[in-house]
Amino acid sequence: MQISRKKLGQIGEKIAEDFLKRKGYKILDKNYFVKSVFGPKTGEIDIVAKKDDTISFVEVKSLVVTPTAFGGRGDAGDVSPEDKVNFQKQRKLIKTAQSWLMKNKMPSNIKWQIDVIAIKIDLDSKKAKIRHFKNAIGG
């Protein structure tokens, strides 16, 4: 079974959203993005959620561990999805989160953090392993 990277991202985000809801988070926004003045997206937040008094900006990273995915080039089992959140991506996430807070007129003292949800999906067994890294990226 093959799957496009876009479809994999959509599946991963749905899994992450359901996971957060089960953990007591309220989903505030999904796929929030900022455009530059020239048009292209400069940053995107997959999920904005709130639990207790903290807003979490969640970056979802999904990998397929099934060998048949992507035309036989399944991602190696020792690769971790969270490793894909590099320094440049972290900076974009922080700026995009700050943009969301301003756009939604949140008080300046509101607690917020950036989380990473890493998902490894086995398409053959239709199972997913989920790891939630809370406050994974410092501002």
Percent of the chain with pLDDT over 70: 86
71 pLDDT higher than 60: no
Confidence at residue 79, expressed as pLDDT on a 0 to 100 scale: 65
The CATH code of the domain that includes 14 is: 3.40.1350.10
Confidence at residue 86, expressed as pLDDT on a 0 to 100 scale: 83
Phi, psi (5° rounding) for residue 5?
-65, -35
Confidence at residue 3, expressed as pLDDT on a 0 to 100 scale: 82
31 pLDDT higher than 80: yes
Confidence at residue 14, expressed as pLDDT on a 0 to 100 scale: 96
Confidence at residue 66, expressed as pLDDT on a 0 to 100 scale: 64
> Token pair of 50, please?
């709130």
Confidence at residue 82, expressed as pLDDT on a 0 to 100 scale: 79
23 versus 74: which is more confidently predicted? 23
Q: CB–CB of 71/2 below 8 Å? A: yes
Average pLDDT, the chain: 86
Query: Which residues have CB under 8 Å from 12's CB, separation 6+?
Result: 60, 61, 62, 119, 121
pLDDT single digits (tens) 78-137: 568 777 788 888 889 999 999 999 999 999 999 999 999 999 998 888 899 999 999 988
Question: How many structural domains comprise the chain?
Answer: 1
- Domain containing 41: what range? 5-137
The per-residue DSSP string of 49-79 comes to EEETTEEEEEEEEEEE--TTHHHH-PPPTT-
